[in-house]
Amino acid sequence: MKKQITDALTKGLLAGYGGKTDFTKLIRGGFELSASHFDDGDIIYHDEWTRNGGQEIVKVGEEIFTRVYAGGCLKKEELNKVRA
């Protein structure tokens, strides 16, 4: 099942980059987010993000899975704190 989940998340993400999804703006909890939605009959993929971080949700069969991502870069000083 893990490969199916990864394949579905990749398919949805690539559909967004390929212009095959519907893009919208929405307000969630008072925050403006960008959103992308894709449904090709095999999978349903939904992505919401702001400031380089967000969450993807995908439905494969009757099961729902999610992947969270965060963007940005740590300063060298902050990175060194976790290297100890």
Give the pair of three-digit tokens for residue 74. Answer: 């740590």
User: Is pTM, for the whole model, over 0.95?
Assistant: no
The residue type of 58 is: V
| CA distances to 8, 13, 46, 48, 65 from 36, in Å | 14, 9, 6, 7, 16
For the chain, 84 residues long, the average pLDDT of each consecutive 10-residue run is: 92 91 93 94 94 91 93 77 69
- Looking at residue 84, what is its pLDDT? 56
d(CA 39, CA 51): 25
